[in-house]
Amino acid sequence: MIILWIDPGTTTVGFALIKKENTKIELLDYWVFKTTPKIDLSLKILEIWSDINHIISKYNPEVLSIEKLFFQTNTKTAIDVAQARWVVIYEAIKSWLKIQEYTPLQVKKAITWNWNANKIQLQNAIKILFWMDSIPKPDDAADAIWLAYMWWLNSNQINNWF
């Protein structure tokens, strides 16, 4: 089974793909899609759709794992990111992918056992879990790896407290 995780955004969209066989996982690929700077949001959404469509066609995942959005202050950014997020979900639904959503707090608790973990702690945990030589970069791709790993944890009922 292949799991696709997306860290949604309007400028940079992080993605990661892991392959699950029984209780083992393998990191297949991770990186970011970048949209063209200073263009209308509708064109950025079209670029994101094209990139997501390409990655789904290339890897044929069965599951999409995506972060639930949480914004406290900037409503415009929240609305724009929500639109980008929904084009990803729409493409996943069209491709018959199962969809799982996680909050940032769920990820922090599951991976580091610490609700207050910072980005560096999460990156170091992923580096160790996937036997990587260095912290995964760019940050948006590293964020995507966390959520793909979360799906694996949840699917194996390792962390069933949420």
Task: Name the β-bridge partners of 15.
Answer: 6, 31
Q: Give the start-end residues of each E strand in 22-108.
A: 24-34, 63-67, 98-102
* Residues designated catalytic: 7, 67, 140
d(CA 142, CA 122): 9
The total number of residues written for the chain in this structure: 162
How far is Cα 73 from Cα 131, in angstroms, rounded to an integer?
37
| H or E stretch covering 26 | strand 24-34
> Would you say 20 and 144 are in contact if contact means Cβ atoms under 8 Å apart?
no
Return the residue matching tokens 């990139």: 51
